[in-house]
């Protein structure tokens, strides 16, 4: 999937804004070496570095990394695969916000994180949890099916795990989970009636690969109307976010 870094910053800043709460869990200290895994356009990596930490931001998207380097030249950024990375110098902590649900190989990711941490180092993250944007996904697949795009309905873009499932997997990779929570967080969408369509265009574009352009516009409007009874509240549009946060410590 190719990311539009400018659109990400302009229309979906809530991703980084909600991530600021996760920084409280990280509790970065001056002098710590910290990896921001799936750093996107670098906003949170820069916030972490402002605490006095030594930060490396890593993301699979070259466009995101280019935007991050341009925006925050004092922070080190690099293109890297979250499922398979290596650093010779170990980190005190690995941080991730709104990125891990995009990862295909979570075993590889957890192994890479574990190997990159110092003994006693911490893995602090927030990602989509079980049921995240479930209504939005269901409405999208319903309309794709209606228009005959059966192949697209089989696409699985994300992994949104249950809390017990994921903490168990972390423990199997040598982590001690010291904190974990799965919670609902309805999330405001920008641009009013266009908010659903723009969210899908930004984050769910693979669902519409191979879809006729005219069909796509009609379908996005139909998806929006299906979601109106639940997403439209007090004259604003919200998405059905469900999040998973955790702190996992590398066992010594």
Give the CATH number for residue 54.
3.40.50.150
pTM, two decimal places: 0.90
Residue 192 above 80 pLDDT?
yes
Angle at 122 between CA 121 and CA 125, to 5 degrees: 155
> pLDDT grade, residue 17 (50/70/90)?
low
Domain enclosing residue 210, as ranges: 5-250
* Number of domains into which the chain is organized: 1
- 209 burial (CB, 10 Å; 0-12 / 13-18 / 19+) is exposed
CB 129 within 8 A of CB 105: no
> pLDDT grade, residue 1 (50/70/90)?
low
**DSSP tally for the chain: helices H, then strands E:** 10, 8
Backbone dihedral region for residue 148 (phi beyond 0: left; psi -120 to 50: alpha; all else: beta): left
């Amino acid at each position: 999937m190719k990311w539009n870094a400018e659109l990400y910053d302009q229309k979906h800043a809530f991703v980084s804004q909600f991530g600021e709460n996760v920084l409280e869990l990280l509790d970065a200290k001056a002098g710590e070496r910290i990896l921001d895994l799936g750093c996107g356009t670098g906003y949170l990596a820069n916030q972490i570095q402002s605490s006095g930490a030594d930060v490396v931001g890593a993301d699979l998207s070259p466009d995101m990394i280019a935007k991050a380097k341009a925006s925050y030249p004092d922070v080190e950024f690099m293109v890297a695969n979250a499922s398979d990375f290596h650093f010779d110098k170990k980190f005190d902590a690995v941080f991730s916000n709104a990125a891990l649900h995009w990862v295909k190989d979570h075993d590889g990711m957890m192994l890479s994180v574990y190997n990159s941490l110092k003994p006693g180092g911490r893995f602090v993250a927030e990602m989509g949890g079980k049921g995240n944007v479930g209504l939005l996904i269901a409405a999208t697949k319903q309309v794709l099916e209606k228009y005959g795009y059966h192949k697209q309905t089989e696409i699985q873009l994300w992994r949104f795990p249950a809390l017990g499932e994921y903490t168990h997997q972390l423990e199997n990779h040598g982590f001690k989970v010291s904190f974990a929570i799965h919670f609902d967080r309805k999330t405001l969408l920008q641009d009013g009636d266009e908010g659903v369509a723009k969210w899908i265009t930004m984050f769910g574009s693979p669902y519409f690969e191979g879809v006729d352009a005219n069909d796509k516009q009609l379908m996005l409007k139909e998806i929006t109307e299906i979601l109106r009874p639940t997403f439209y509240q007090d004259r604003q549009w919200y998405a059905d976010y469900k999040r998973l946060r955790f702190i996992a410590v590398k066992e010594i």
